[in-house]
Amino acid sequence: MNAHVGQFRIENGVLTGPTLSMHEQGNAKLDRILAGEDAGFQAMLLASPTTSLEQMICVALQTDYAGWRGMRQLQEGLQ
């Protein structure tokens, strides 16, 4: 199944998203999700049992990305 949320896509089992954010923290978040260690993702599974896993992964990564991007913009504005 394919999914697309914000900056993230899963097509034919391949995840794509912003390279810098994935390198800095997105890959670690994905690892936690896949290992069953991300509490926020686990809560989403319980709250939306009919939503596809691909869609939920994209939502989780997009949410994480929004926080990452906002923090970077704040830091740049303070410099």
Query: Which pLDDT band, with edges at 50, 70 and 90, does 78 fall under?
Result: confident
Q: What is the pTM of this model?
A: 0.91
* Residue 16, SS3 per DSSP: strand
Rounded Cα distance, 14 and 10, in Å: 5
Domain locations in the chain as residue ranges: 3-78
What is the per-residue pLDDT for 75?
A: 87
pLDDT greater than 90 at residue 1: no
Q: Nearest CA to 64 among 43, 45, 38? A: 38
